[in-house]
A = this chain, B = another copy of it.
Amino acid sequence: MPYVTVKMLEGRTDQQKKELVEKVTDAVVETTGANREKVVVFIEDMKHDHYAVGGKRLSDQ
């Protein structure tokens, strides 16, 4: 606790994801006082054909 979910377009590198969870965890610990070992981060990849803004999927643009 806290539980953080980051939903983003597929395509980020493994290194980017590694740093993302580290830095986001740092941010949560620093601002909420949570115990670092209790912070959980989930990453969810979105596909271009499953994500739309303004009624248009990225894969249709």
Interface residues of A (CB under 8 A from B): 1-9, 12, 14, 16-28, 30-34, 36-46, 49-57, 60
- Given contacts A18-B60, A23-B27, A44-B50, list 6 more A-B pairs with CB under 8 A: A4-B24, A17-B57, A20-B27, A23-B26, A36-B54, A40-B51
Q: Give Cα A46–Cα B20 distance, bound, in whole angstroms.
A: 17
Complex Cα gap A38–B33 (Å): 21
In whole Å, how far is A29's beta carbon from the nearest beta carbon of chain B? 8
A52 interface neighbour in B25, B34, B57, Cβ under 8 Å: B25
The distance in angstroms between the C-alpha atoms of A40 and B2, with both chains bound, is 12
Tell me whether A32 and B20 are in contact (CB under 8 A): yes
